[in-house]
Amino acid sequence: MKPSQRMHGLVQHINAVAQQLGLDMLTVKKEYIFRTWVTISAPLTYAVFGVYWGFLEARRHWLEGIKSSIMLGGLVSGSAKLLTILLRHTPIRDLLHFIIKICEDYEQRGVDFIHALNFGIDRVYKIQRIIFVGYSITFLIMLLMPLVLLFYKGIRITVMPYEIPGLSIDSNIGYGLTYLQHTIPEVVGGIGFYLGDMLVLLALNQIQTFADIFQLKATALNDALERKEHSRYVCNVGEYKDFNIQALLMDLINWHQLFVDYCELVEKIYDNLIAAQVFAASVSIVICLCVNLNEFDLISAIFFLVSAYSMSVYCIVGTQIEFAYDQVYQTVSCLSWHELSCEQRKLYMMMLQRAQNMKIIVLLGITPLSLGTALQASELDFCFGNLLAKDNI
């Protein structure tokens, strides 16, 4: 298939997932239907019941209160994703259409551009498979493990770390109603996590694709500059050949401007979501470590994997984006600028200056989105988890 068809299929897949939650990403006018309100109610019910139950448990013992808040990070990141989708529906929709339009335009410019577009789409599909498999396995385990323990060992544990006031899990009816109520925010949360991650990571991965396209354009300009240099040795005195350098230079500068504007737009749309995702995952890791260092808890162990997995994916993609920025800068630096005219060199210097000062994605203005941040956060999480363990208190 053409790159535009593959990208259109990927966007349609993301929109189909959003429609399951009542959040149509491609519609012109945002509508609130029954499924939308169910999605909105999921974090609200967890916030109400979870905070109330956590307060009651904390009065008995501090560790029980911490156990009741192991999914607090999931509540924060899920709420951030939901609010971003609801409040920034129009810019997200326009961004998806823009990505498809870029594929439609550049698949007509030759095999090299088609290869770059396909390589970027393959990269997105690879991440999509990793995210889908990871979330599917962990959330299915969280849903099925209480049933397995109930049928095989007679042990009653809840899916979410709280109980509903007035319903005792010691009775069959109370446990059944509690399990059904927990299933709703669990399923909505799993689908919502997948949807939010796909929207963000699709937008972020296009930065790498745009950097590859920039390199192709720069290669074309460099070839023209090299032909100009070689022509001086064979042409007659006074003879001049332009080799279409001005048009190639302006095309490269315009694409670099589009690249910069796109990076700033993505950060403007998803900055709060990315920051909430990484920091909420870090807090969840601390809480889950604290609980499991004191005594093993199955639900917190599973959610620890979900949090660490989610934070790692975002930080790895952030590192790849930094590499894309370096790729663009190196490409600009390696141009044969000495073959440009004086006016063309002025334009080149402006582009070089922009490439040297690319604005990286920074979490809440504190730390960059990168693998180094993930490693620092993991080290701090382990230190705090040990500090709160009962052997160190």
Q: Is the pLDDT of residue 387 over 90?
A: no
Rounded to 5°, the CA angle 150-281-120 comes to 110
Question: In the chain, how long is the greatest CA-to-CA distance?
Answer: 99
Domain boundaries, the chain: 3-233+241-391
Contact 363, 248 (CB under 8 A): no
Q: For the segment 52-87, what is each residue's pLDDT rounded down to a tens digit?
A: 777 777 677 776 777 777 778 788 888 889 999 999
Contact 374, 312 (CB under 8 A): yes
- Residue 288 CA neighbour count, 13 Å, CB half: 22
CA distance 387 to 375: 18
Q: pTM of the prediction?
A: 0.87
**Alpha-carbon torsion (302, 303, 307, 308), positive or negative:** negative
387 token code pair: 């500090």
Helix, coil or strand: residue 367: strand
What's the pLDDT tens digit per position in 235-259?
655 455 566 788 888 999 999 999 9
CB 4 within 8 A of CB 107: yes
> Residue 368 is inside which H or E element, if any?
strand 367-368
Q: Is the pLDDT of residue 392 over 60?
A: no
Distances (CA, A) of 132 to 105, 129, 302: 30, 5, 16
Neighbours of 128 (CB within 10 A): 18
Q: Give the whole-angstrom CA distance, residue 365 versus residue 139.
A: 32
Sign of the dihedral through C-alpha 232, 238, 239, 244: positive
Quote the CA–CA distance of 255 and 217 in Å, as a whole number: 9
Residue 11's pLDDT band (cuts 50, 70, 90): very high
257: its two tokens: 């401007």
Identify the DSSP state of 28: S
Residue 210 pLDDT greater than 90, yes or no: yes
Give 295-299's long-range contacts (Cβ < 8 A, gap of 24+).
Answer: 295/63, 297/67, 297/70, 298/145, 298/157, 299/70, 299/142, 299/145, 299/157, 299/159, 299/161
Residue 393 clears pLDDT 50, i.e. is over it:
no
Q: Which two tokens stand for residue 240?
A: 């001049």
Amino acid 214 reads F
CA distances from 163 to 57, 190, 249 (A): 11, 20, 65
- In eight-state DSSP terms, residue 241 is -
Residue 154 backbone phi and psi in degrees, to 5 = 75, 15
303 pLDDT band, cuts 50/70/90, is: confident
Any idea what DSSP says for residue 255?
A: H
Amino acid letter, residue 373: T
Q: How far is CA 173 from the centre of its chain?
A: 40
With tokens 């995702």, the residue in question is 277
Asked if 66 and 219 count as a contact pair (C-beta separation under 8 A), the reply is no
pLDDT digits (tens, 9 = 90+) for 372-383: 766 766 666 666
For the four alpha carbons of 53, 54, 55 and 56, in that order, the dihedral sign comes to: positive
Whole-angstrom distance, CA of residue 112 vs CA of residue 54: 57
Question: What does the pLDDT look like over 334-363, one tens digit per residue?
Answer: 888 887 788 888 888 888 888 888 777 777
Report which residue type is found at 37. Answer: W
The per-residue pLDDT for 58 is: 67
Q: Which of 31-40, 114-123, 288-297 has the weakest average pLDDT?
A: 288-297
pLDDT, residue 215, reads 92
